Amino acid sequence: MKISARNQLSGTIKTINLGGVMAEVVVEVGAGTIISAITRGSAESLELKPGDKVTAIIKATEVMIAK
């Protein structure tokens, strides 16, 4: 699969919290974590489960930096 987004972080799913409509997916990447909110339907369609190797793809118009 090809995708135009350049900000891609490979990692492993740590946890998935399924709600009524949404799912929170926690992905361990390098020395940190990325938390993604996706629809429950998407999580189920992808058959996501802890331990799966995934890629977090970040497409945003802004990235904030703090020091």
Check if the beta carbon of residue 59 is closer than 8 Å to that of residue 7.
yes
What does the pLDDT look like over 29-63, one tens digit per residue? 998 999 999 999 999 999 999 999 999 998 887 87
According to the model, what pLDDT value does residue 12 have?
98
Check if the beta carbon of residue 8 is closer than 8 Å to that of residue 54.
no
Residue 54: half-sphere exposure toward Cβ, Cα within 13 Å: 24
What does the pLDDT look like over 1-30, one tens digit per residue? 788 888 899 999 999 999 999 999 999 999
- CA–centroid distance for 56 within its chain: 4
User: CATH assignment of 7-58, given 3.20.20.70, 3.40.50.720, 3.30.1360.120, 2.40.50.100?
Assistant: 2.40.50.100
Domain-by-domain residue ranges, the chain? Answer: 7-58
